[in-house]
């Protein structure tokens, strides 16, 4: 709400446990109705290795969902040793990790939109084929390649990539 979002534009989805966060986040992202997903939860360490397995899977799942759907996912899942530490990190002594995750989601959604606008503007520009350009970039590139080859102790005939051109 501080960032300008309206309460009616936000959806709160509750899941039974942290392990279910990635699936819920992915399903929401796949609808393409959301600019970003904020994943909030808390995992408290117990006496078994179960904690480590869940932490790793939740982290991997949220990241994978973001990468595969293209919708930013903010990671606000607390991984704490004790309940007291979790309460402190959720907004008392050590900042508010949920608020920080929400801000990250807003920033990533804005960045994604800006990149999309820029890419759209670039694709609308008419591309001029290299052969039709009237500039010296090709000759400069040849000189640059020759200089790089010499600095690496190779002759220009040892290059394996690039078109063969006449040298003057």
Known catalytic residues are: 50
Tokens encoding 60:
């991997």
- 96: helix, coil or strand? strand
Alpha carbon separation from 81 to 44, 59, 63, 126, 150 (Å, rounded): 6, 17, 23, 57, 58
Distance in angstroms (rounded) separating the CA atoms of residues 47 and 78:
18
Distance in angstroms (rounded) separating the CA atoms of residues 17 and 23:
11
∠ CA 66-70-76, nearest 5°, is 30
């Amino acid at each position: 709400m501080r960032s300008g979002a309206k309460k009616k534009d936000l959806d709160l989805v509750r899941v039974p446990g942290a392990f279910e966060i990635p699936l819920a986040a992915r399903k929401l992202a796949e609808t393409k109705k959301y600019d970003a997903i904020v994943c909030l939860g808390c995992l408290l360490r117990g006496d078994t290795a179960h904690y480590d397995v869940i932490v790793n899977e939740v982290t991997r799942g949220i990241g994978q969902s973001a990468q595969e759907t293209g919708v930013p996912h903010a990671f606000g899942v607390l991984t704490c040793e004790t309940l007291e530490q979790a309460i402190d990190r959720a907004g008392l002594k050590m900042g508010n990790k949920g608020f920080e995750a929400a801000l990250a989601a807003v920033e990533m959604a804005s960045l994604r939109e800006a990149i999309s606008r820029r890419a759209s503007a670039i694709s609308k520009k008419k591309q001029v084929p290299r052969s039709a350009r009237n500039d010296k970039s090709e000759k400069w590139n040849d000189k640059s390649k020759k200089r790089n080859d010499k600095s690496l102790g190779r002759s220009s005939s040892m290059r394996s990539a690039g078109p063969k051109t006449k040298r003057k």
